[in-house]
Amino acid sequence: MPFMLFCTLVVASRAEIAEEEDVLVLKKSNFDEALAAHPNLLVEFYAPWCGHCKALAPEYAKAAGMLKKEDSDIRLAKVDATEETELAQEFGVRGYPTIKFFKGGEKESPKEYSAGRQANEIVSWLKKRTGPAVSTLAGVTEAESLIADNEVSVIGFFKDAESDDAKAFQKAAEAIDDIPFAMTADDAVYSKFEVSKDSVLLFKKFDEGRNTFDGELTKENLLAFVKANQLPLVIEFTEQTAPKIFGGDVKSHILMFLPKAASDFQEKMDQFKKAADGFKGRILFIFIDSEVDDNQRILEFFGLKKEECPAIRLITLEDEMTKYKPESSAITAESITKFCTLFTEGKLKPHLMSQEIPEDWEKNPVKVLVGKNFEEVAFNPKKNVFVEFYAPWCGHCKQLAPIWEKLGEKYKDSADIIVAKMDSTANEIEAVKVHSFPTLKFFPAGEEHKVIDYNGERTLDGFSKFLESGGKEGGAPAGDDDDDLDAEVNHLD
């Protein structure tokens, strides 16, 4: 009887976990129960007001329904991180959506979800995480289903599953989370896809439809093959494609800003795509509809206005972001190929944006810097210059503004201290790379061109101590100032 009562209580407690469109709704009170009941659990930490979360919601629910229909032991769940703040803090949630995969009921070290935001991509990633890296195709029907159900899939044709080539295929599959890999030795499958010898084929629902691997079959070569062919020659930037764009291995991106409604849209797209073919796996070709409201932040990041489109820009997303602008405004395969070739050969100079110097830049206590006057002011050997690099839309910058103005007022009559600010969405300088807003940097007097980061308390007292000590005191980290991250890289993925 006690055992039956215990079972009843367990079932009852599990039944209390509510669902919305097949997605479990988790709170601190039922989180541990959910982990115990579902050994493979993907959890989205979201904010109700977050645009990215709203865009993800229908695909997330669709993925949950697909898995539930298959009677899979994988479940999808969500947590309102604005309400369940303790859970959000426990799992280090600093942006939305944050998606984590919990395996085996363990709370420690969940895996960050790293794939796309379409339902089939979510399902594929989860299956790769919970099942074998390579599935076995017994016949043509299974092969056709794999290809039909996935945007991209890879099939290895191997008569001997223990061959060196098959083992290299297995190792490559284990290294890729978001694309299904399968293997077959079936003669009918060989015949169906006109394969006469052991080989690897990548199937995709875009461009040429399939690619055949050519060369020595090693894990490294196969990974390079998949990387070069898994994305369209030209990929449109959207909420759904952003994770693929920013999360991929190709960190050099060329962007074409063009209204989709333009009369010559297809003509320019054809030219862009023609140029893309020669840089597969080296440069990602991205199209951005310059008329879409959600894309205006990206235009601003590149110093562009809608009226200036069509336009081409190139950016590297390595440790230091660097932008490049072509000399020619022509959008032809020839001009784009020339531009990309110069880039790959290291022959391009970075493009640094700058506004014109305002006539009254010195008028107020906080001096206004732009790209064209920055070095003259910041590296004046007789001045100690404290600069705020800000973005007009940044909430943290707006909160800091009145304190920064008071700081400028306090030192407006100083003989050797200058308090300044620069709009980093419209101005760039080679000496300082800004990755978050606000960024605060101190340029002490002297010929050395030193740059000192300020990470201390954002108070008038904290700033004053820092300045009066020549940048030596009061600059200790003050804790969790969650700055607004760079628009192009962190807000739009």
Q: What is the pLDDT along the chain (493 residues), one digit of tens a residue?
A: 443 433 433 443 344 789 999 999 999 999 999 999 998 999 999 999 888 899 999 999 999 999 999 999 999 999 999 999 999 989 988 888 999 999 887 888 788 887 888 898 899 889 888 888 899 999 999 999 999 988 899 999 999 999 999 999 999 998 887 789 999 999 999 999 999 999 999 999 999 999 999 999 999 999 989 988 988 999 999 877 887 788 777 899 999 999 999 999 999 999 999 999 999 889 999 999 999 988 888 888 888 888 899 999 999 987 667 889 999 889 999 999 999 999 999 999 888 888 899 999 999 999 999 999 999 999 999 999 999 999 998 889 999 999 999 999 999 999 999 999 999 888 988 888 887 889 999 999 999 999 999 988 899 999 999 999 988 875 533 333 444 443 333 333 3
Active site residue 309: no
Beta sheet of 234-236, edge-to-edge order: 234-236, 284-289, 252-258, 311-317, 321-324
Q: What's the burial of 158, exposed, middle or buried (CB within 10 Å: 0-12/13-18/19+)? A: buried
Superfamily of chain region 134-228: Glutaredoxin (3.40.30.10)
- Phi, psi (degrees; rounded to nearest 5) at 376: -60, -40
Which residue in this structure is represented by tokens 């794999």? 146
Predicted confidence at residue 489, as pLDDT, reads 36
Predicted confidence at residue 242, as pLDDT, reads 82
Predicted confidence at residue 116, as pLDDT, reads 83
Bridge partners, 167 (sequence order)? none
Distances (CA, A) of 51 to 61, 92, 214, 320: 16, 20, 43, 28
* Among 7, 50, 309, 340, the one annotated catalytic: 50
- Phi, psi (degrees; rounded to nearest 5) at 188: -65, -35
Superfamily of chain region 235-345: Glutaredoxin (3.40.30.10)
Q: What's the burial of 29, exposed, middle or buried (CB within 10 Å: 0-12/13-18/19+)? A: exposed
Predicted confidence at residue 319, as pLDDT, reads 66
Parse the chain into domains and list their residue ranges. Answer: 19-130, 134-228, 235-345, 367-477
Q: What's the sign of the alpha-carbon dihedral 374, 377, 383, 385?
A: negative
Distances (CA, A) of 322 to 19, 314, 416, 425, 428: 45, 8, 33, 14, 10
Token couple for 492:
């739009």
Question: What is the spatial distance between Cα 471 and Cα 455, in angstroms, rounded to a whole number?
Answer: 11
Cβ proximity of 160 and 166 under 8 Å = yes
pTM: 0.63
Name the nearest CA neighbour of 101 among 128, 83, 66, 82: 128
CATH for the stretch 19-130: 3.40.30.10
Our CA angle for 260, 342, 287, nearest 5°, is 15
Cβ proximity of 78 and 50 under 8 Å = no
Q: What's the burial of 238, exposed, middle or buried (CB within 10 Å: 0-12/13-18/19+)? A: middle
Question: What is the spatial distance between Cα 307 and Cα 238, in angstroms, rounded to a whole number?
Answer: 21
* Among 7, 309, 340, 397, the one annotated catalytic: 397
Question: What is the spatial distance between Cα 342 and Cα 335, in angstroms, rounded to a whole number?
Answer: 11
In words, the CATH class of domain 367-477 is alpha beta
* Element holding 270 (H helix, E strand): helix 265-276
Question: What is the spatial distance between Cα 482 and Cα 94, in angstroms, rounded to a whole number?
Answer: 8
Active site residue 53: yes
Question: What is the spatial distance between Cα 137 and Cα 144, in angstroms, rounded to a whole number?
Answer: 10
Pairing of strands 234-236, 284-289: parallel
Active site residue 397: yes
Token couple for 227:
């990387």
Name the nearest CA neighbour of 181 among 214, 140, 119, 226: 226
Predicted confidence at residue 416, as pLDDT, reads 95
Active site residue 7: no
Cβ proximity of 169 and 134 under 8 Å = yes
